[in-house]
Amino acid sequence: DAGVIQSPRHEVTEMGQEVTLRCKPISGHDYLFWYRQTMMRGLELLIYFNNNVPIDDSGMPEDRFSAKMPNASFSTLKIQPSEPRDSAVYFCASSSSQGTGELFFGEGSRLTVL
Amino acid sequence: KQEVTQIPAALSVPEGENLVLNCSFTDSAIYNLQWFRQDPGKGLTSLLLIQSSQREQTSGRLNASLDKSSGRSTLYIAASQPGDSATYLCAAHNTNAGKSTFGDGTTLTVKP
C-alpha cells in the first residue's frame, strides 16, 4: 500500500480564499483523522471519522472549517474563508480497528495564508 | 483527560552514545502506546507500537518499554548516529482506534 496520501503538499493562498485539502487513507482502514500542527500549539486533533461518519469534531476551531468523507477512500478538509492564522501543516492519518490500532500519517499539507 | 508529557524538550548527544527518551501519561487505562519520528518538513513515521499487554518492543537499535503502573514509556536508542536527529513523539491510544493523545516531542540532535 502507498500509505496515507495527501494533496496538495504545499498551498499558498490569500486571505479570504477557499482552501481544500485532500486525503486518501490506507485501504481497509476504518478510522480517518485530521490534525493540525503549529510551533505554538503542537499537534491538534481537528476531527475524526469512523466508517465515513464524523465522530468527534470538537477540535475544529471555527465554522470556517468543515470536513467530509464521502467514501472510504477519500476525505476533504475545507477552510472558507481562510485567514493568516490558519497557516499550519495539516496532517491526515488513518488506522484500523481490526488489529493494534497503529496510526499512520500522511506527509502533510503545508498551508500558508497571506 | 489523558495528558502526555515528554521531557526533555530537546537533547543533544555525541555520536555513538546510547540515550533514553521519556514519555509520561496520566491515565494508565491505555490500549497501546506508539512512538513516532518526525523529520523537519515531513510527516510522522511510526517507529514502534507497544500494546497494553506488552512491556517492550524492539526494532533494530530502538527499544521501547511500557510501564502502565507508573504511567511511563521510554524509547532507548543504542549507538546513536547523526541520522537519528529528529523529533520523537509518543502517543497514548486509549482505545484500539479513535482519539489519541500526543506529547509535544523531544528534539534530538546527534553530533558527529
Please say if the pLDDT value at position A2 is more than 90: no
Q: Which of A56, A99, A102 sits opposite B46 (nearest CB)?
A: A102
Q: Do B93 and A31 touch (CB under 8 A)?
A: no
B83 in contact with chain A, both atoms CB, cutoff 8 A: no
Q: Are B2 and B25 in contact (CB under 8 A)?
A: yes
Q: How confident is the model at residue B72, as a pLDDT? A: 95
Q: How confident is the model at residue A12, as a pLDDT? A: 98
Please say if the pLDDT value at position A1 is more than 70: no
CA A76 – CA A74 distance, rounded (Å)? 7
CA B28 – CA A57 distance, rounded (Å)? 25
CA B74 – CA A74 distance, rounded (Å)? 35
CA A78 – CA A104 distance, rounded (Å)? 21
> pLDDT 10s per residue in chain B (112 long)?
889 999 999 999 999 999 999 999 998 888 899 999 999 989 999 999 999 889 999 999 999 999 999 999 999 999 999 999 999 999 998 776 677 999 999 999 999 9
Name the DSSP letter for residue A63. Answer: T
pLDDT digits (tens, 9 = 90+) for A36-52: 999 898 899 999 999 99
Q: Which residue of A has its CA nearest to B91?
A: A103
> Mean pLDDT score of chain A, rounded to an integer?
94
Q: Which residue of B has its CA nearest to A40?
A: B104
CA B32 – CA B95 distance, rounded (Å)? 8
CA B57 – CA B48 distance, rounded (Å)? 7
Bridge partners, residue A7, by sequence: A22
Q: Which of B95, B100, B104 sits opposite A42 (nearest CB)?
A: B104
pLDDT digits (tens, 9 = 90+) for A4-42: 999 999 999 999 999 999 999 999 999 999 999 998 988
Q: How confident is the model at residue B28, as a pLDDT? A: 85
Q: Do B97 and A97 touch (CB under 8 A)?
A: yes
| Closest of B36, B15, B42 to residue B91, by C-alpha | B36
pLDDT digits (tens, 9 = 90+) for A71-112: 999 999 999 999 999 999 999 999 998 878 899 999 999 999
Interface test with B, best of A102, A107, A109, A112 (most B CBs within 10 A): A102
Strands (E), B2-71: 4-5, 10-14, 19-25, 32-38, 44-51, 56-59, 62-67
How remote is the C-alpha of B88 from its chain's centroid?
A: 6
Q: How confident is the model at residue A51, as a pLDDT? A: 95
Bridge partners, residue A68, by sequence: A76
Classified as helix, coil or strand, B82 is helix
Q: How confident is the model at residue B97, as a pLDDT? A: 64
Q: Do B32 and A103 touch (CB under 8 A)?
A: no
Q: A2 is written with which cell numbers?
A: 502507498
